Chain A
Amino acid sequence: MAVQKVPASYSLQEVMDRVLDRGIVIVTRNVLFSLLGLETLLLEARVAVVSVDTYLKYAKAVGLTPLDRTRHVTEYVTRGRETAELPPWP
């Protein structure tokens, strides 16, 4: 079976996979709050926001492997929104 010697153009799902699951998130002061694989850090207790609902919906829609930290992470996010001091990521 042949393969093109230059990469094929990519599908929307592959874009989703990368844009949702990879890429940089923000870190400062080593206080990490994260949700579902999208990491984000408090900008000194000023928050960078990421959407839980959106990600959950999307993870499902694009068939991403379910993440095993869901409960833990959701707890972080809830607290993160209240801009509480968060423990470092274990």
Chain B
Amino acid sequence: MGVENLEEKAPQARYIYAVIPRIDRDNFGPIGIEGNTVYTISYKDISAVVHNCPPEPYQGDEETVKEMVATHGDVVDAVWEEAGSILPMSFDVIVRPHEEGSAHDNVRKWLEDQYETLELKLDDFRDKVELGVQIFWDPAVITRRIAEENEDIRDLMADVATKSRGMAYFYQQKIADAVKKEMEAKADRDYSDYYRRLRAYAEDTEVNKIKRDKNRQMIMNLSLLVRRDKVTALGETLAEIGEQDGVEVRFTGPWPPYTFAAKIAAIGGEAEKKR
């Protein structure tokens, strides 16, 4: 189906996957959510990547939604590869028609209104990728290392053997407190050190929330915007960090710049949210 037909065809709302630099291709075929045909709506040299949908949000049971979110991710990946740069949208952003214009017109109007920002950022994100870096500690190993390396804690541990039961309990509490305190201090020091080393490879960074994990302690959760030609060097630095005993590094990507697109204030990103 030609794009002209898609533009006119019901249903009347547009699900938006991303904004890309305009390319020759304006139809990506039935790769969208629920097999919808994915095509572009353009203004000047930028394009919104969309499919036609009813004017209501997508929802469903867990499996259905998981599938839809994964498809959204796949579409973003596919068009990113072709277009070379991308501003990905969040899941389920749908533009509706209104009395004065179709959804199609509204999308084009949005591109027009935000043209300068979108164009600038598309240019900025070209040849850059988002990488996820998470650094974990194995608490058992780190605790042991601290106990071995910290003189005060070592002394306390030597003392405890000579104490009566009541006093030993008191000493164990003291040791536990000292270890906890030293662990926090070490986490701060290591965090600063890792951040400084990783930041050197990144055009931008975003600190994400620490997540809970059953067996390991996450001490850092970063998104980095990195030029493609620096990814390997960053990986080597991460390998150095990961070689330390009790330290584990998780390195994911290359991602389309979801995190960094979301920071663009003028089009509804993080900065806007915080204002």
Contact = CB atoms under 8 A, between A and B. Distances in A.
Nearest to B264: A24
Contact of B242 (A1, A19, A58): A1
Contacts of B65: 54, 57-58
B256 to A, nearest CB: 8
A86 interface: no
Interface centre among B91, B94, B275 (most CB of A within 10 A): B91
Interface string B57-83: 111101001100110110010000000
Interface residues of A, number: 50
**Main DSSP-derived SS at the A contact region:** mixed
Nearest to B98: A46
Contact of B258 (A19, A40, A48): A19
Contacts of B266: 27
A87 interface: no
A12 B71 CA distance: 11
Given A6-B231, A49-B55, A24 B90 contact: yes
Interface string B196-239: 00000000000001011000000000000000000110011011
Contacts of B88: 19, 22-24
Interface stretch (B106-114, B150-158, B171-179, B181-189): B106-114
Interface of A: 1-10, 12, 14-16, 18-28, 32, 34, 38-41, 43-55, 57-58, 61, 63, 65, 89
12 contacts: A2-B242, A6-B235, A7-B231, A10-B252, A19-B69, A19-B73, A19-B91, A22-B262, A27-B114, A48-B94, A51-B57, A63-B212
Given A23-B93, A32-B272, 7 more contacts: A3-B238, A19-B73, A20-B90, A23-B89, A32-B268, A45-B98, A65-B209
